[in-house]
């Protein structure tokens, strides 16, 4: 059999463990298997940019951040039918039996669109996808995505550093978190570090109330701002400073952006193990000639339920529209 492995969208820690597990499982179970890595994500599939992978080429990478295969965003892929056709044709011409994908929302949607063409053109390639994203917005009714807990670990570390300086100076810190329109990363990091407030996308923020909270606190106040919130850090700072001045609240405000730092660094052990487990299950299923699908898995050892890609690509069916009530209750209970 011939396998290809691709990492798409924003990189995240855990992708390398996924790649390694695909390569090692394939070659250990059936040494005659040919495994190629698609370079630079979906772009590599459009331009036929591959690298043959053997057991040595994936040695020592499980915990390394980023992706050794590279990833380039190709937003046009979602809408440009000629690009989709090129990709489907390349999979056919290169005689790929299975394409293993680890990626976020955009990758799952691209995979689903390509699969539609593959099926109508009777191309035999199958596509198996795993969720890989720090945003945790890929099919999040089916467990967290690979990379989410690694990014949370980094966020927690940075937020604790900020606490040190914030409490020393009795300052307010506005801290930006990545996570796109999903506030998962910001919200969970807020719970884990015990931040005073997390501003989420679309929220009608009561800044007067935040000012009262700051006024009543003695030392540090850390307010995390989720990426999708409509105002940027300088705008929020200005709003709060105006209120502070009017109400004679004497706390200084500083801003800091954690964004790209959250995405890098070593993978969390949970992400390494789960990425390895899901990839291994995919390979076993591929050798058993399984159909295309999206692999959900909550934890290592949990038998992934495989759901059709068209369901995985449909946010209305598979993603929580917002942070679940139970998690909000948890956050409130810990304040």
List the beta bridge partners of residue 130: 102
By the rule CB under 6 A, 135 interacts with ligand F6P: yes
DSSP 121: T
Report d(CA 10, CA 73) in Å as an integer.
8
Query: x/- contact string, 26-65, with ligand F6P (CB under 6 A)?
Result: ----------------------------------------
Tell me: does residue 320 bind ligand F6P (CB under 6 A): no
Strand (E) or helix (H) holding 213 = helix 207-216
The CA distance from 151 to 102, in Å, is 16
Nearer Cβ to ligand F6P, position 66 or 104?
A: 104
Under the binding rule (CB under 6 A), the answer on residue 178 touching ligand F6P is: yes
Structure-block tokens of residue 190: 């807020």
Q: Which stretch binds ligand F6P (CB under 6 A): 110-118, 129-137, 229-237, 318-326?
A: 129-137
Nearer to ligand F6P, 176 or 222 (CB): 176
Stretch binding ligand F6P (CB under 6 A), from 81-89, 128-136, 250-258, 273-281: 128-136
Identity of the residue, 58 or 198, whose beta carbon is nearer to ligand F6P in the bound complex: 198
| 133 in contact with ligand F6P (CB under 6 A) | yes
Residue numbers 72-91 binding ligand F6P by CB under 6 A: 73
- 125 is a site residue for ligand F6P (CB under 6 A): no
Which residue number, 26 or 133, has a Cβ lying nearer to ligand F6P? 133
Strand (E) positions, the chain? 2-7, 34-38, 50-52, 98-103, 126-131, 172-177, 197-199, 221-226, 253-257, 293-295, 306-307
Choose, by CB under 6 A, the member of 40, 153, 220, 227 that binds ligand F6P: 227
Exposure b/e, 145-169, CB count within 10 A at least 16 = b: bbbbbbbbbbbeebbeebbeebeee
Query: What separation in angstroms does the CA of 124 have from each of 83, 287, 308, 312?
Result: 19, 14, 17, 21
Residue 189, CA distances (Å) to 66, 230, 247 in order: 21, 20, 30
Nearest by Cα to 53 from 78, 76, 26:
26
Q: Which of 263, 267, 271, 277 binds ligand F6P (CB under 6 A)?
A: 263
Pick from 60, 119, 115: nearest CA to 84: 115
> Is 132 one of the binding residues for ligand F6P (CB under 6 A)?
no
Cβ proximity to ligand F6P, 156 vs 243, nearer residue:
156
Active site positions, annotated: 135
Contact call for residue 265 and ligand F6P (CB under 6 A): no
- Restricted to residues 4-23, the positions that interact with ligand F6P (CB under 6 A) are 9-10
Per CB under 6 A, the segment of 51-59, 108-116, 123-131, 174-182 that binds ligand F6P is 174-182
Sites of contact with ligand F6P (CB under 6 A): 9-10, 73, 104, 133-135, 178-180, 227, 263
């Amino acid at each position: 059999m011939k396998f290809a492995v691709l990492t798409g969208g924003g990189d995240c820690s855990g992708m390398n463990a996924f790649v390694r597990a695909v390569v090692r499982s394939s070659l250990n179970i059936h040494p005659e298997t040919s495994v190629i890595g698609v370079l630079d994500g979906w772009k590599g599939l459009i331009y036929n940019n591959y690298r043959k992978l053997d057991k040595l080429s994936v040695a020592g990478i499980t915990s390394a951040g980023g992706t050794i295969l590279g990833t380039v965003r190709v937003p046009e892929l979602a809408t440009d039918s000629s690009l989709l056709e090129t990709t489907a044709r390349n999979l056919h011409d290169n005689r790929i039996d299975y394409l293993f994908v680890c990626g976020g929302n955009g990758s799952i949607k691209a995979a689903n669109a390509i699969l539609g063409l593959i099926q109508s053109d009777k191309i035999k390639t199958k596509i198996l996808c795993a969720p890989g994203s720090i945003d945790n917005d890929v099919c999040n009714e089916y467990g967290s995505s690979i990379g989410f807990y690694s990014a949370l670990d980094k966020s927690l570390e940075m937020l604790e550093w900020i606490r040190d300086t914030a409490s020393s100076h009795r300052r307010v810190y506005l801290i930006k978190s990545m996570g796109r329109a999903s506030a998962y990363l910001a919200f969970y990091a807020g719970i884990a570090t015990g931040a005073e407030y997390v501003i989420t996308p679309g929220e009608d923020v009561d800044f007067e109330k935040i000012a009262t909270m700051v006024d009543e606190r003695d030392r540090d106040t850390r307010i995390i701002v989720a990426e999708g919130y409509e105002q940027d850090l300088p705008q929020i700072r200005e709003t709060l400073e105006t209120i502070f001045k009017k109400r004679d609240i004497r706390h200084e405000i500083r801003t800091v952006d954690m964004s790209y730092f959250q995405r890098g660094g070593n993978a969390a052990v949970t992400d390494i193990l789960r990425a390895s487990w899901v990839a291994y299950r995919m390979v076993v299923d591929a050798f058993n000639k399984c159909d295309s699908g999206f692999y959900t898995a909550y934890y290592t050892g949990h038998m992934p339920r495989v759901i059709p890609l068209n369901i995985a690509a449909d946010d209305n069916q598979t993603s929580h529209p917002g942070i679940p009530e139970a998690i909000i209750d948890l956050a409130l209970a810990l304040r």
